[in-house]
Amino acid sequence: MFSFLAITILVSATVSPIFVNWLYDPWRKYAGYQKRNIMHSKDLCVLACIYRPDNVTSIINFLQALCPTLESPVSVCALHLIKISGRATSLFISHQKQKRSLSARSISENVILSFSNFWRNNCEIESVNVFTSISPTKFMHQDICTLALDELASFIVLPFHLKWLVDGSIESQDSIFRTLNCCVLERAPCSVGILIDHGNQVNSISRESSREQSLLVALIFFGGEDDREALVLAKHMSQHRNISLTIIHFVLSTGEIKSDWEKMQDSDRLRNMKPDFKEHREVTYIEETVSDGLETSNKIRSILHKYDFFIVGRRKDVETIQTAGLDYMNEYPELGAIGNLLASMETTERYSVLVVQQQISL
């Protein structure tokens, strides 16, 4: 009887976790049952993640460029992530509800003050809420995804793990935050963007700035879900009076080879942007014909000095002739072929890049 009970307990302890894992997927709560992306959101809610103090400036400057209006309001949630070891559970603090929390508020004081000033100076922003997450690195992606789900965010902005110097050399890198970005890209309940500062810090602009302080933005468009999402984001930014937007559409010299449905959606989105070409002189459309990935790479390299900010789609697992060969030397797969190309170029040019991934739906 004792042997039988011992074997039963052993079998139950082995089989039960496997059976439970098969029945219950903890990540399923983040699944995209609803459309939570920029394209289908009337009110844009952005979750901005802060890893290091130097992320604050570039994130805030990017949020200013989104140009919130009464017709398309923008609300912001800022999440300051702090690594901690030796603690089994995470500590999550809302600074709107716990205004007298001493330890977390002192750690995040600069972040809180920066976003408070940002809200004070941008009355068009609907709301700004600041949170702090103190947790082991293996749980940080859960905090990001849970907050995005609870706050009904439609876009998450993640800083890139590399930091460049002005001369183009790499100052520092953190593999932990790279892993974190990859986890969020796979599990996020909404669209995600990775913000890369190639020694540029995203030029600061405001509605009161002069025309001489305008931000030159380029959208690199090939087609597909991620590129269409990036196009909608670029349209938001084009409403800013001090932003000059250029849409660069790369097409094959021998004609497009893609599904009819994809081509129709791309054409429809571009057609919706054409009224902006007439209404806003600061919005232009350029069509570049290329025959392979090498020619695409050369043309992108030739325009680096012309723009301050590039917006590209991640386009994971999307193979086209325009980008053929660019995936073979993909140092940062989380950025996609074009994002990796812009991030890994050895150049002294200073620019920023936003790599956009549309919400992954079931």
Q: What is the pLDDT of residue 87?
A: 63
Average pLDDT over residues 290-315: 91
pTM of the model: 0.85
Q: What is the pLDDT of residue 181?
A: 94
Q: Kindly tell me the sign of the dihedral angle through the C-alpha atoms of 239, 240, 245, 249.
A: negative
| pLDDT at 257 exceeding the cut of 60 | no
| pLDDT at 202 exceeding the cut of 60 | no
Amino acid at 295: E
Average pLDDT over residues 19-30: 69
| pLDDT at 264 exceeding the cut of 90 | no
The CA distance from 350 to 149, in Å, is 35
- 194 closest CA partner among 204, 183, 203, 181: 181
Query: Which residues sit opposite 247 in a β-bridge?
Result: 219, 285
CB 285 within 8 A of CB 277: yes
In terms of phi and psi (left: phi > 0; alpha: psi -120 to 50; beta: otherwise), the region of 167 is alpha
SS3 content of the chain, % helix, strand, coil (to 5): 40, 25, 35
What is the CA 54 to chain-centroid distance, rounded? 17
| pLDDT at 23 exceeding the cut of 80 | no
| pLDDT at 29 exceeding the cut of 80 | no
H or E element that contains 60: helix 55-65
H or E element that contains 218: strand 215-221
